[in-house]
Amino acid sequence: MDYKDLANKIFPEAKDIAYYEEKYPERNLKEGAIVTRFAPSPTGFVHIGGLYQSLIARKLASQTEGVFLLRIEDTDQKREVENGITDIVQSLDNFGIEPDEGMISETEGKGIYGPYRQSMRKEIYQSYAKYLIEQGKAYPCFCTPEELDEMRTKQENAKIRPGYYGVWAKCRNITVEEAIHKIENGEKYIVRFKSPGREDRKIKHHDMIKGNVDFPENDQDIVIIKADGLPTYHFAHAVDDHLMRTTHVIRGDEWLSSVPLHLQLFHELGFKAPKYAHIAPIMKNDNGNKRKLSKRKDPEAAVSYYDEMGIPKEAVNEYLLNIANSNFENWRRANKDKSIDEFELQLNKMSVSGALFDMVKLLDVGKTVISKFTAEEVYENALKWAKGYDKELEEILQDKEYALKIFGIERGNKKPRKDIAKWSDVKENIEYMYDDKFLTKEQEYPYQVINEKEDIDKILDLYMKNYYDENDDKQQWFDKIKELAGSLGYAKEVKEYKANPDNYKAHVGDVSTVLRVALTGRTNTPDMYEIMQVLGKESIEKRFELAKKK
Ligand code: GLU
């Protein structure tokens, strides 16, 4: 009896690997095309780090006319949740990331290198495990959990490296006859890889991000097929990335230390190994301590957070590129109006240690991104967000024509307004433009330099009586505010005031502030001329009356 008999005993149905090698041929892509993937487990939580990885993978594939695929790694069935795949697909889609191949729902995929869900690939893994057994490179292991525990305790007590290797690999030398006998007796087993490695030898690895790294060889006889017949991550990685013809494995750097094992698996399976790029996690500054963004502690670790807050996907993507490549910022400065699709991302410019996530910076990017939107785009996005998260805003936005006028204020010019960083800012920023909100609420009036009731009333009255004309253009409008100021003894020019402060009570800017505060309840608003245009005479009058009552 030989290895072939053992292999047949364990996997009698498994196909010859030649079948799969032919079914999933080398891809016919142009030189330099990157085939890469995002390979999450469907745990129901999509981490911002996963989005970061996908964005990088998607971009590199697009830049090189390669392929980006979504593979679902669901071999750990304990961790699974309902609709976990849909969540992932939807999250990527929300950020405009569309895989070329891979799962598109819980059960369906697109592309000819599938299935793209590991639990649907059981026979494939078994064929390759069988192939290894046939060559004496894998074997059944009959050790019980109790035996393995006992072994671990012994290793711990003796302060010996833990694991199933060397003399500790008890089942490694069981004869074929004995193994077959045990199987026929109904003994439980799993399948282990027979590692040819030696711990005292080193391997050199070149990582596309981390650079050159040395590791001891792997000598662990890791499990490749579990008791449920499904593969472990390591084995599935080798088989899948080979058969999907992945050229670049881009993944989190928690896998860097598994590289020796993975290279060994590729080698023993007779596969060409892919290139590896290990991405450092996104970090957070927590009271001066740099730590990973944590699913448990940081709401911003979940991609759903950005949706809830209404941070535009364009801003998130742009910000992630910012932390991916430090030269992005310069590129953006030189190419203000280009789409991020035109930025050439480079793996070797990624930081080796984790980049810091800075919410303030992200919101700043959000402001710039939204400032470039048309009023119509702002409206559509704000409405979409409001439908999911803010009924009151949804209501406010029902009058589209009026909303477009508000969003149109200071938009489309050289220095567009930058007051909205996220859709959840919109309500606060437009509410005061609605009479039914503004006039019915108890208003605070934060007047500044001019704050005597008598002076304020005078300014408001005189303005409406002698100076306001809705047909004025902006220059006429402003000239009239100067005249108003002059007629009440305020300086018509700030310059004049500064030259002789004792001659005046205040200046034209202070008079403008009175108008602004009476109109909006705020000291800071977009252009007041445009605001008055949008409000119209009747509303302005009502607002001044209300202000005078205070
Ligand atoms: N399923 C693995 C994870 O969730 C994928 C790692 C890889 O990309 O190979 O981390």
* CATH number, residue 493: 1.10.10.350
- Both 423 and 469 in one domain: the answer is no
First-to-last C-alpha distance (Å) of the chain? 100
Residues with Cβ within 6 A of ligand 1? 39-41, 73, 237, 249, 251-252, 255
Ligand 1 pocket test target in 45, 121, 251 with most atoms within 8 Å of CB: 251
User: What is the β-pairing status of strands 138-141 and 190-193?
Assistant: antiparallel
CA-38 nearest atom, ligand 1: 8
Question: What CATH number should be reported for the domain holding residue 215?
Answer: 3.40.50.620
- Both 202 and 245 in one domain: the answer is yes
pTM of the model: 0.90
- Both 146 and 250 in one domain: the answer is yes
Q: What is the pLDDT of residue 529?
A: 97
Ligand 1 centroid to residue 535 C-alpha, Å: 55
Beta bridge partners of 212: 206
Ligand 1 centroid to residue 258 C-alpha, Å: 12
Ligand 1 centroid to residue 237 C-alpha, Å: 8
Please identify, among 247, 262, 279, the residue that sits at the C-terminal boundary of a domain. Answer: 279
Task: Count the neighbouring beta carbons within 10 Å of the beta carbon of residue 314.
Answer: 20
Ligand 1 centroid to residue 531 C-alpha, Å: 52
For tokens 């192939």, the residue is 131
Q: 350: which DSSP letter?
A: S
Beta carbons of 134 and 7 less than 8 angstroms apart: yes
- Both 483 and 524 in one domain: the answer is yes
* Ordered mean pLDDT values, 10 residues apiece, the chain (550 residues): 96 97 97 97 93 97 98 86 92 96 97 96 98 98 96 96 96 96 97 96 96 97 96 98 98 97 98 97 92 93 96 96 94 93 94 91 96 96 97 97 96 88 96 95 92 94 95 96 95 93 93 97 94 97 94
Contacts 24+ apart (CB under 8 A), 87-94: 87/42, 87/44, 87/46, 88/40, 88/42, 88/46, 88/50, 91/46, 91/51, 91/303, 91/304, 92/38, 92/51, 92/54, 94/303, 94/307, 94/313
- Measuring CA to CA, which residue among 91, 58, 87, 61 is closest to residue 74? 87
Q: Is residue 429 part of a domain?
A: yes
Query: Can you give the residue range of the structural domain that contains 241?
Result: 3-14+122-279
Beta carbons of 117 and 103 less than 8 angstroms apart: yes
Ligand 1 centroid to residue 62 C-alpha, Å: 21
- Both 385 and 512 in one domain: the answer is no
Ligand 1 centroid to residue 359 C-alpha, Å: 26
Ligand 1 pocket test target in 249, 255, 266 with most atoms within 8 Å of CB: 255
CA-37 nearest atom, ligand 1: 8
Q: How far apart are CA 389 and CA 202, in angstroms?
A: 55
Task: Count the neighbouring beta carbons within 10 Å of the beta carbon of residue 240.
Answer: 23
The closest residue, in CA terms, to atom 5 on ligand 1 is 39
Q: How far apart are CA 5 and CA 215, in angstroms?
A: 36
User: What is the β-pairing status of strands 35-38 and 67-70?
Assistant: parallel
Encoded tokens for 111: 């592309």
Q: Hey, which bits of 312-451 come out as E strands?
A: none
Query: How many alpha carbons lie under 13 Å from residue 534 in its C-beta half-sphere?
Result: 23
Ligand 1 centroid to residue 444 C-alpha, Å: 54
Torsion of CA 415, 419, 424, 428, to 10 degrees: -130
- Both 154 and 199 in one domain: the answer is yes
- Both 174 and 145 in one domain: the answer is yes
- Both 475 and 406 in one domain: the answer is no
Ligand 1 centroid to residue 81 C-alpha, Å: 17
Q: What is the pLDDT of residue 82?
A: 87
- Both 497 and 404 in one domain: the answer is no
Ligand 1 centroid to residue 250 C-alpha, Å: 9
Please identify, among 279, 309, 338, the residue that sits at the C-terminal boundary of a domain. Answer: 279
Q: Is residue 289 part of a domain?
A: no
Ligand 1 pocket test target in 233, 239, 250, 259 with most atoms within 8 Å of CB: 233
The closest residue, in CA terms, to atom 10 on ligand 1 is 40
- Both 541 and 488 in one domain: the answer is yes
Q: Is residue 136 part of a domain?
A: yes
Ligand 1 pocket test target in 73, 75, 261, 275 with most atoms within 8 Å of CB: 73
Q: What is the pLDDT of residue 95?
A: 96
Q: Is residue 428 part of a domain?
A: yes
Ligand 1 centroid to residue 40 C-alpha, Å: 5
Inter-axis angle of helices 3-10 and 122-134, nearest 10: 160
| H or E segment and range at residue 46 | none
Q: Is residue 406 part of a domain?
A: yes
Q: Is residue 414 part of a domain?
A: yes
CA-255 nearest atom, ligand 1: 6
The total of structural domains in the chain comes to 3
Please identify, among 216, 247, 279, the residue that sits at the C-terminal boundary of a domain. Answer: 279
| Angle made by CA atoms 137, 141, 144, in degrees to the nearest 5 | 160
Q: Is residue 238 part of a domain?
A: yes
- Both 162 and 253 in one domain: the answer is yes
Q: What is the pLDDT of residue 217?
A: 97
The closest residue, in CA terms, to atom 1 on ligand 1 is 40
- Both 457 and 516 in one domain: the answer is yes
Q: How far apart are CA 304 and CA 257, in angstroms?
A: 30
